[in-house]
A and B are shown apart, each in its own frame.
Chain A
């Protein structure tokens, strides 16, 4: 009997216990426990355990693959709005969860079967068949992953997250809405199911992470857009800790959590770092504006400094800032004072960011270079240093802690602060002492743009001369104050010339009173002379002017007085410089004016003789007609002189009806010219000395390329102080000479024209 087993009955029994094996799938009654154990023994007897198990698994796999998973993914279609996606996703999860649960009893049986009959075997590496089932679900789901699945998942979590974000507000208004509770309920339920199916991380993890990243990014952007005057770092940290992290915890740490607290903690650290990075990036993009708004933007800079310590964004910062400086600052459209202001602001803000000064050095490198290429930089620096109305540089100068520009000595202070010493960042150039970087102040940095103090001091000298000569007042108190301040910085020897200049001004005043006391000296009109020691003043602009005999007479008297006073010294007058107060008496009106000597000479000549031809007057005054005509325009605008015929001028004493018209026509050209020879003129003169070298060179060596000429000049001609000439400048100069036919350029070689060689 025991051998004769009814196979049919046994198969029916097995089918009843494991209904999945029944192809006909007719509804059958649930098998009892008794029947189950009976089946087990049957299977054992027939040694069918392995086969039955495989059959069941194959069936289950097919079912999952062919009906459940496609149905699950069918939920993931394009939806109109987030809300729809939210519900679709939760439905899908519900569905797959139900499917999963449906296998519950079957797998319980399978588990027992496995344990009893096949203790050695496992299913796909899992001892527990339920785990295997999870694996099965997961694998099948992922194998059929549709492309758009992320959208729906994203929708789901976006809704949930926005609910989370809004909750504070909802609490505040005490609005416990039905729908909101609903959302929360569905949300936590769905997450619980996902966790149970072990699907949370594989299915959702990636989407969730990127969602959180975008949320952080958006939040950071929203929080600190265009506002630099307060610190946001702590606010953002708190936001992350109170909003995002708890939310993550609700997702991950449910009862089935395979991801434990520790992992969330780790994730939190990662998110915090991401927060810093995002924030730093936002600030770096705004850095140029932040710098411009310094010191109002100090909190933002402090934030950025903290972030930089925690992230690796220094190189990004350098690159971005240099780029934005180039596009926004270093182009011809920006005036030099503006560049300087920005430069000073950037020096100060970089100090905040990086006390070692390395960042500053790298970032401001292009600015340095650019400033060097501008002619008026030194002038701007010097003038803003000594301007009256308060500005950054003037303050800096007054604060002046006598730092010498090229001080190399270590200060004692270093030794005392050794505990606070910090090494230089790795990028630092080891050749340069960090001490110099740290200690150099703003003015020294500005001066170092040019590499030499001399140039700076020279420019100051020109500026001072200009100011002293244009004011014509002997009030030098303020200038002396600035000079003293500058001396603290640059040392006495550099500014010796300026000192002499100031003394000259004071002396001039003294000499004038002395001369006035000399009995032979008589005055037709009040005259005072600025007596300058030619050696110490910068070159004055040279123009020819023969002043009116009356003035000349007075000048001669003055000279005589001076000679009597000073023994072997005399005066060389600069006729074209100075200012004259004139009072012009006309029949119908009086004019009180301050004008230049040229103007006065013109009008005095007209006083003698009412009509002058342009040529004639030009000869008498020794001023070129074109310039003279321009200068006469001044009087024409006052209606005193009229051009009656071309090149014939006539004095008009009474205003007639026609004159008022003329007055409006002629534009006044009373330009305030500098008394100093312009830098360009001086440069031309310097280049002229090179020219004699160049001709000498070419006469003896026939023809030379540009580089050779430059090299030879460098070797033999650049001996004087500060005379330098770049290759570029030399090329310009030589090309100008070629245009003037003083040189011939052919085949890359310059030579003297043939005619010159032969004659």
Chain B
């Protein structure tokens, strides 16, 4: 758990170093940029094309991600777009990830919010954009029925044919 503590915040509690704050913010933000640049590079170089992400505009802290539905599931060959928003304390705090493309899924609500433990309490600084996207991709095929955001989807999960109809309906809303 130790790696989850942002040295910046732990430092803040130390009163003697408060006057360094300004400089720390700058260097901190630089470190985040550097990390995001690096993540982008690994993502670009990787040969796995089922997940992908790229900064949305000039702001390095907002990305758009794309995941392809895993094969052998009802989501197969569908492309879902997601938005990723990185806090300045990244990677000590998890990014905010939301679906842009409407998705019918037990753990995804109608406005695209995702219920996934590693984006919440189980976040670790060792995760990166790629692993987040891969986790979400696998979540599509293996939903957590016990804590649904979309009750209808959770209920239908057992009846795959009807479930698939709903999925396609939602996906084609675009």
CB contact under 8 A between A693 and B44, given known A700-B52, A700-B53, A712-B55 = yes
Q: Which of A282-328 contact B (CB under 8 A)?
A: none
Q: Contacts of B77 on A, CB cut-off 8 Å?
A: 758-759
- The answer on a CB contact under 8 Å between A701 and B41 is no
Q: Mark B143-174, 1 if CB is under 8 A from A, else 0.
A: 00000000000000000000000000000000
CB contact under 8 A between A719 and B37, given known A701-B64, A758-B77 = yes
CB contact under 8 A between A696 and B43, given known A701-B54, A701-B56, A701-B64 = yes
A699 close to B (CB within 8 Å): yes
Q: Mark A690-716, 1 if CB is under 8 A from B, else 0.
A: 001100110111000000000110011
Q: Mark B61-91, 1 if CB is under 8 A from A, else 0.
A: 0011110000000000101010000000000
- The answer on a CB contact under 8 Å between A696 and B54 is yes
Q: Contacts of B63 on A, CB cut-off 8 Å?
A: 700
A757 close to B (CB within 8 Å): yes
Q: Contacts of B37 on A, CB cut-off 8 Å?
A: 716, 719
- The answer on a CB contact under 8 Å between B54 and A697 is yes
- The answer on a CB contact under 8 Å between A719 and B41 is yes
B40 close to A (CB within 8 Å): yes
Q: Contacts of A711 on B, CB cut-off 8 Å?
A: 58
- The answer on a CB contact under 8 Å between B79 and A757 is yes
Q: Contacts of A719 on B, CB cut-off 8 Å?
A: 37, 41
Q: Mark B11-25, 1 if CB is under 8 A from A, else 0.
A: 000000000000000
A688 to chain B, nearest CB (A): 11
Interface centre among A699, A711, A715 (most CB of B within 10 A): A699
- Find B66's partner among A692, A693, A699, A712 (CB 8 Å cutoff): A699
Q: Contacts of A699 on B, CB cut-off 8 Å?
A: 49, 52, 54, 66
B126 close to A (CB within 8 Å): no
Give A758 to B66 CA distance when docked, in angstroms. 12
- Find A700's partner among B41, B58, B60, B64 (CB 8 Å cutoff): B64
- The answer on a CB contact under 8 Å between B54 and A700 is yes
Q: Contacts of B55 on A, CB cut-off 8 Å?
A: 712, 715-716
CB contact under 8 A between A696 and B56, given known A701-B64, A716-B37, A759-B77 = no
Q: Contacts of B64 on A, CB cut-off 8 Å?
A: 700-701
B147 to chain A, nearest CB (A): 29
B122 to chain A, nearest CB (A): 26
CB contact under 8 A between A696 and B79, given known A716-B37, A716-B40, A719-B37 = no
- The answer on a CB contact under 8 Å between B54 and A692 is no
Give A712 to B37 CA distance when docked, in angstroms. 12
Q: Contacts of B43 on A, CB cut-off 8 Å?
A: 696
Q: Contacts of A697 on B, CB cut-off 8 Å?
A: 54
Q: Contacts of B81 on A, CB cut-off 8 Å?
A: 700
A517 to chain B, nearest CB (A): 46
Chain A: CB-nearest residue to B47: A692
Residue pairs across A and B with CB atoms within 8 Å: the count is 46
Q: Contacts of B52 on A, CB cut-off 8 Å?
A: 696, 699-700
CB contact under 8 A between A696 and B58, given known A716-B37, A757-B79, A759-B77 = no
CB contact under 8 A between A715 and B79, given known A700-B64, A701-B64 = no
Chain B: CB-nearest residue to A708: B57
B1 close to A (CB within 8 Å): no
B45 close to A (CB within 8 Å): yes
B42 to chain A, nearest CB (A): 11
Q: Mark A446-487, 1 if CB is under 8 A from B, else 0.
A: 000000000000000000000000000000000000000000
CB contact under 8 A between A696 and B41, given known A701-B64, A757-B79, A759-B77 = no
Interface centre among B37, B54, B63, B81 (most CB of A within 10 A): B54
Give A697 to B77 CA distance when docked, in angstroms. 20
Chain A: CB-nearest residue to B43: A696
- The answer on a CB contact under 8 Å between B44 and A692 is yes
Q: Mark A746-759, 1 if CB is under 8 A from B, else 0.
A: 00000000000111
- The answer on a CB contact under 8 Å between A700 and B79 is no
Q: Contacts of A696 on B, CB cut-off 8 Å?
A: 40, 43-44, 52-54
Give A523 to B79 CA distance when docked, in angstroms. 63
Give A711 to B77 CA distance when docked, in angstroms. 31
Q: Contacts of B56 on A, CB cut-off 8 Å?
A: 701
B155 to chain A, nearest CB (A): 30
Q: Contacts of B60 on A, CB cut-off 8 Å?
A: 715-716
Give A689 to B46 CA distance when docked, in angstroms. 11
CB contact under 8 A between A692 and B79, given known A699-B54, A700-B52, A701-B64 = no
Q: Contacts of B79 on A, CB cut-off 8 Å?
A: 757-758
Q: Contacts of A701 on B, CB cut-off 8 Å?
A: 54, 56, 64
Q: Contacts of A716 on B, CB cut-off 8 Å?
A: 37, 40, 54-55, 60
B28 to chain A, nearest CB (A): 20
Chain A: CB-nearest residue to B64: A700
Chain A: CB-nearest residue to B63: A700
- The answer on a CB contact under 8 Å between B45 and A692 is yes
A448 to chain B, nearest CB (A): 31
Q: Contacts of A717 on B, CB cut-off 8 Å?
A: 44
Give A579 to B44 CA distance when docked, in angstroms. 41
Give A689 to B66 CA distance when docked, in angstroms. 20
Q: Contacts of B65 on A, CB cut-off 8 Å?
A: 700
Q: Contacts of A689 on B, CB cut-off 8 Å?
A: 44-45
Give A715 to B55 CA distance when docked, in angstroms. 10
* Interface CB pairs A-B, < 8 A, 18: A689-B44, A689-B45, A692-B44, A693-B54, A696-B44, A696-B53, A699-B54, A700-B52, A700-B53, A701-B64, A711-B58, A712-B54, A716-B40, A716-B54, A716-B55, A719-B37, A757-B79, A759-B77
- The 10 lowest CB-CB distance pairs between A and B, nearest first, are A700-B64, A700-B54, A692-B44, A697-B54, A699-B52, A696-B54, A696-B44, A700-B66, A693-B44, A696-B52
Where the two chains meet, the residues of B that have a C-beta atom closer than 8 Å to any C-beta of A are 37, 40-41, 43-45, 49, 52-56, 58, 60, 63-66, 77, 79, 81
In addition to A696-B40, A699-B54, 10 A-B residue pairs with Cβ atoms within 8 Å of each other are: A696-B53, A696-B54, A697-B54, A699-B52, A700-B64, A700-B65, A700-B81, A711-B58, A715-B55, A716-B37
